[in-house]
Amino acid sequence: MKENSIIRIHDCYILRDGKIIKEDLWIRNGVIVNPEQIFYVEQAEADHTIKAFENLLIAPGFIDIQINGGWGIDFSYDSDNVEHGVKTVAKKLLAHGVTSFCPTMVTSDKDKYAKILPKIKKAQGGPEGATVLGVHLEGPFISLAKKGAHADEYIRNPDKGLESLEEVYGSLDNVNIVTIAPELPGALDAIKGLTKKGIKVALGHSSASLAEGEDGVKSGANLITHLFNAMLPFHHRDPGLVGLLASTTERQVYYGIISDGIHTHPAALRIACRTNRDGLVLVSDAFAAQGLADGTYRIGPMAVSVDNGRAYVAGTKTLCGSTTALDECVKTFKESTDCTLEYALQTASLHPAKALGIDHKKGNLNFGCDADFVVLHPKTLKVMSTWINGEMVFVDEEISITNIQLNAKSLTR
């Protein structure tokens, strides 16, 4: 595609500003542009026009902020081949409409962080795979009592605040999110230090009371890691971290939630979204078994058994990650809550973008935003094609001979 070439996707259904509208989508240099600027100011026309999206829906690309791996890849384990592993997963995610993601590392030993973190670099997506937004570090600064599938021998307290984290992680250059339990000694200082560096903090794997959770938010945290899982259950006298959904904190608290049909009951999904609609962020929390059959896998140092799609720490009934991709989570969420199509799609696009502070570029299809989008069947939500920076990077086999592919391929001639 030549620089400054203008693409016009003609007469299509678009999710924009929470509504599905029918109009043209204009793209230049990988960015969505205002056609009025092109028509009336520049007095230019489209270089390429695509007319192949009738009865399909163009929605913002999905953003997965918590994903441990997939297709046999574990981001926390194979330190020698981590670059290849991230690229493999990034490529596979395109078929699921994911255009950006945060590779997630679970609690590991210090040596693993030293070997793996420098190799998972932030990277712009394209035909080779989804954009890498930065690493999500889930642990080891978590509650031993709410460790879930995390190895207890590596769990520790951030006694010295940010210094404790830097001692364990080494460089934080490639990090986007850190999950931390706010009740731990030194945690609030660590949260403040991370926030000053522009790193988002999620509260999770925690035994925190509501007051301790609110202190974490006041210190800079704006996320909750997989709501309801690995935290105190809701109690009417002290609702714990769950209570942050209805707390009077000054900032919007976003919360990841796993709607794979296993981790969270449909009623819990309904309670969450009716309590705090704007904060709900769908995450896959998928691990190495994503896209593969039942069997034996691992997540970091932990051995995992998958039976009928349910992943457990080997020899236990402790759930440890999902085998479900984010597009399937969107479907399950919509079915469970009977919410609108527009809202369901935003929970996997606009909401995570807002949580990360990147909604001026990603998570929506407003003018000036990156042309990262997914073409969906509006009824089944099947991913038909995925686009990054205005370039088609995936097309479903069932429509490989339709005008979508033929028109898109013509753009590169």
| Residue 339, marked binder | no
34-67 per-position pLDDT tens digit: 988 888 888 888 889 998 788 899 999 999 999 9
| Residue 263, marked binder | yes
pLDDT at 179 over 90: yes
| Residue 320, marked binder | yes
Q: Provide the percentage of residues in the chain whose pLDDT is more than 90.
A: 85
CATH class of 6-60+363-410: mainly beta
Task: Please report, for residues 82, 83, 93, 142, 153, the alpha-carbon distance to residue 115 in angstroms, rounded to integers and kept in the order given.
Answer: 9, 11, 24, 21, 19
Mean pLDDT, the chain, rounded, equals: 93
Task: Report pLDDT for 52.
Answer: 74
Cα atoms in the 13 Å half-sphere on the side-chain side of 9: 27
Task: Please report, for residues 342, 379, 395, 410, the alpha-carbon distance to residue 403 in angstroms, rounded to integers and kept in the order given.
Answer: 26, 21, 11, 10
- Give the contacts of 330 (CB within 8 A, at least 6 positions apart): 62, 259, 282, 344, 345, 347, 348, 381
Catalytic residue numbers read: 285
Task: Report pLDDT for 78.
Answer: 84
pTM, two decimals, is: 0.95
Q: Using CA atoms, how far apart are residues 175 and 90, in angstroms rounded to an integer?
A: 17
State yes or no: cis peptide before 352, omega within 30 of 0: no
| Residue 250, marked binder | no
**Closest to 46 in 3D by CA, of 3, 85, 103, 8:** 8
Question: What residues does each domain of the chain span?
Answer: 6-60+363-410, 62-356
65-98 per-position pLDDT tens digit: 999 999 999 999 988 899 999 999 999 999 999 9
Q: What are phi and psi of 101, to 5 degrees?
A: -155, 165
Alpha helix ranges (H) inside 280-347 = 326-337, 341-346
3-state secondary structure of 79: helix
Q: Provide the percentage of residues in the chain whose pLDDT is more than 70.
A: 96
Task: Report pLDDT for 399.
Answer: 65
Number of H helices, E strands in the chain: 11, 22
Q: Using CA atoms, how far apart are residues 175 and 198, in angstroms rounded to an integer?
A: 10
pLDDT at 409 over 60: no
Token readout for 239 is 């609702």
Task: Report pLDDT for 241.
Answer: 97
pLDDT at 319 over 60: yes
User: Which CATH architecture is the domain 62-356 placed in?
Assistant: Alpha-Beta Barrel (3.20)
| Residue 360, marked binder | no
119-164 per-position pLDDT tens digit: 999 999 999 999 999 999 999 999 999 998 899 999 999 999 999 9
pLDDT at 300 over 70: yes
Residue 406: which pLDDT band, with cuts at 50, 70 and 90? Answer: very low
How many CB atoms are located within 10 Å of the residue 126 CB? Answer: 15
What is the crossing angle of helices 266-275 and 326-337, to 10°? Answer: 80
Q: Which residue in this structure is represented by tokens 């981590």?
A: 82
Token readout for 220 is 């800079």
Query: Mean per-residue pLDDT for 240-252?
Result: 94
Task: Report pLDDT for 1.
Answer: 56
Query: Mean per-residue pLDDT for 99-111?
Result: 97
Task: Report pLDDT for 2.
Answer: 67
E strand residue ranges, 5-152:
6-16, 19-28, 31-32, 48-50, 57-60, 62-67, 69-70, 73-74, 98-106, 131-132, 135-138
